[in-house]
Structure 1
């Protein structure tokens, strides 16, 4: 959704009752709050005064809020695998898929780009002691088509890199599914062996690259592939497309690096995927996190994720200038940043994201269940 996309998870075939998996939406809301908490705490000037009043365990929890990104990636893998479960991938379907993703995801993203540029421009006019360089037209254009990271350009809003990876994943995944479908039609021993091997090699290579690379690679999908794929595997085992034994084999392979090379990103990926799997086994996928506020936060999570930095961080920066290093005021600004960001996200959801979703549904491919 991206990181947060709001796809209707239809449990019934076309024409039947549609409803959402509450655990998926609840996890989206929690992940978005976690990422915002990390930025508002560790990535803001409030960190030092906040650390004096926030209990150490809570501060530690906020420090790992960036793991919400891993949660988003696993959810995206699950949702796309679920959405494509009955779809035959053709060129027409691929074109329709691309159109619907653009209509669904881009308007809130483009609005956030414009909002961030507007805030930077106003800041430059008001604060003469710090002038932020505005991005060039080529940078803005690259953002519009999700290519800024591939072109090694700075993100206008730091979280935008994750959207670029989401877009890459959607199209790489759907192409791989298309290859799998065509090989399956041949019904030969080679074709039945090739697809599982291809997915396994991609998974293993991604896991190795992620655990051995010391650099933060944010331009390309591959180091993050195993996170998305964990979500897809989870749907496939629930759908009985793959045997449970193979699912646990993948789990075991992911545990090995945790023993020899501790990586909390892998742990977060495992916990997210297994939570969805275990919830489904207990028929709790539409019951866990079924709280009104959790579902509301899940609903606006995409918009919140997009705007929490241009809105929330801007408020924090203004607040810090006004109140300095006061711990009490820092705590007030911290919570205000959440409230104002939620309000802005609600507005964008109602007037941009929700209409975009409805528009994308008008172009629904006849044989698609997305």
Structure 2
């Protein structure tokens, strides 16, 4: 009998010990999910907070929500970008699609009743001809409203006239145009942003030295604003600094021709054509020149360069690659956008600073602007979607992480 009691007592003790250990484990688990009394965020909560951080950058704030936008069932909205494969454009697409999802949820639309948005863009960024073809196709679908990031400010005027004649409201985003019938422009304040880059460049270089400007294109007003305002700040306010360029990457054929002529010791004479042998040699040389060669040429033409300002993600990374290839790692590189390559390079300290735009908010606000046009609610002429200055020092901050681009 005593033996049975001892066994029972031992069992009770083991159970109490197990319970105590379980309690301690639960406490440890609870403490691991709490910090300063706050529960650990779920993935959904984190995503929602990041979404709201992007929408909070939009000014006016009315373009960061879908309140009061009672569109009819089945409304079709069209958005045409300057590209489709890059993270920046994919993020704009994600913002637009989320805005439409919020609209359908708010209005209770399901199935075929849902409002629809279609984002389209050239397979190769900044392809003027392909963008115009896409614009023609979308106008044939008679969308309730159409938004476009214009590659060439003069290329779409005929199509815009056609849209106006057919009562299709026009919105521009990312890149503005001069067309008089534009109802609203949704974009970054590029003048302010590029002036800020110039200010940071001046600080980094100690207000002295040469800066090279490399621009992704010469046609869009967006690129022109970035280039002109950066250069104006340097030239007007910093006499000990100089600017080389701008070098436009949509004019690479001209640059390739110059490189090939120098390689072949050909001195072009105005009004005089090359003989057949020279022209063949020149054409062959041009065909061998790569984009990498162009960036190397720019650096060779400016051996005293201290800083480089590039106007988009691709030019920023190309400039970085060229500098590293020539062991010019002390050159201060600043640019635009935040593709994963740029983010990684910044974390490594190889890029000094970036203007990170708000493409998600841009896509979202563009849908809101389109909806307001359809409903005759009126629009602000300019909707500022905001930007953030990002450096290796703040890139890990939560406020910065929330606005970095994310593909969907």
TM-score (ref. length: structure 1): 0.23
More contact order relative to length (CA 8 Å, sep ≥ 6): 1
- Greater share of helix residues, 1 or 2? 1
Greater share of strand residues, 1 or 2?
Answer: 2
Higher Cα Rg, which structure: 2
